[in-house]
Structure 1
Amino acid sequence: MMHQEPFRISPQGRPNHYKTYSVLAPFETHWRPATCAEADCEVSMLGWTTTVDEKTELGQRQAAYIRTQSGRHPLERREAALTVFTFLPGEECFTAHQIRSDREGIYAVRPGDYRAYGVPFLHDNAEFWIEDYAAHLDKIDKQANR
């Protein structure tokens, strides 16, 4: 699959004519593991089935894991040569969910735009970031109305 760039209107000025405002939430510091309930996991809410073919080595390992190591308690039935595990609503799924932590975002202002960013300035809080943004918009407005 080829990477496709997002649609962007071509800027009229050079990169140094722009400032980029962003609120960052790096995965390593601003996200945490979550339960299915915390992540509003639809699979867990509705329940699901997992079908394994125990005639194969992989299927045998999968079934053994579900039965003895998963910590889950599915219903089990045989259909022909397959084993169907039915996980009832409320059972934790097998996805490692992540959700945003309560940690405040990182308020960054970088000179430039997507074509060439400069070194970011990090504001201590949202209020200062918003004030910076408002001052920048005011500057643009004054230049436009000359």
Structure 2
Amino acid sequence: MESVNRIDPAMPVGAYQTYSITAPRDAAVVTACEQVACPAWANGWDSVIDERTELGQQQAAYIRGQSRRTFREMKTDGLTVFRFEAHQRCFEEHRTRPEIYLVRDGDWRGNPTGRKRQHTRPADWVEDMTENQGRIVDLQQKG
């Protein structure tokens, strides 16, 4: 294992906060199209269905009666084209690894207070870190 070179901290461990993003190993969760930048979600998509087959009839019936998605229907060369609008869930089941957005007191030497909090949204974690960095800059400017 490689040794880590660290600069000696200028302040006690309690004067620091650590921001981290981690992902549990071997864990995957079903996630929304928007979160995985699904092209069908972003741009819309076409589903071409051959209603001359039993499978095609079942697919078309599902789209028309149960899919709860917005589409336009067109017939072409014996096939039915369902054109779906953008920004709605596609028919894929997307999976992704969950991310844990954590803020804890302390640094690599430990967490003396034991205090930590987990943000549920990445934007909240970024906002928290940005505000913390702003406080540090203000303190530096004050001397």
TM-score (norm 2): 0.51
1:62 to 59, 64, 82: 59
1:12: which partner in 2?
A: none
C-alpha root-mean-square deviation of aligned residues, in Å? 2.9
1:42 to 33, 39, 44: 39
Q: How many residues align?
A: 88
- Of 57, 61, 71 in structure 1, the residue corresponding to residue 68 of structure 2 is 71
Deviating beyond 6 angstroms after TM superposition, the runs of 4 or more aligned structure 1 residues are none
What are the residue-to-residue correspondences of 1:60-139 with 2, within 5 Å? 60-103=57-100, 127=108
> Which residue does 1:53 correspond to in 2?
50
Call closer, same or farther: CA 1:27–1:64 in 2, change over 3 Å. farther
SS of equivalent residue, structure 2 residue 58: helix
Aligned to 2:29: 32
Unaligned runs of 5+ in 2: 3-21, 102-106, 110-143
Residue identity in the other structure for 1:26: R
One-letter code aligned to 2:24: A
Residue segments in structure 1 that go unaligned for 5+ positions in a row: 1-17, 105-125, 129-146
User: How far apart are the structure 2 equivalents of 1:46 and 1:79?
Assistant: 22
Q: Cα gap change, 1:65/1:103 in structure 2, threshold over 3 Å: closer, same or farther?
A: same
**CA distance in 1: counterparts of 2:41 and 2:96, whole angstroms:** 16
| Residue equivalent to 1:108 | none
* Residues 33-73 of structure 1: per-residue CA shift (max 9 Å, x gap): 22111111112101110101101101001101111122212
Relative distance call for 1:43 and 1:82 in structure 2 (3 A) is same
Amino acid in structure 1 at the alignment position of 2:32: T
| Superimposed CA distance per residue, residues 8-50 of structure 1 (whole angstroms, 9 cap, x where no aligned partner) | xxxxxxxxxx79xxx873343xx43221111111121011101
State the identity as a percent: 35
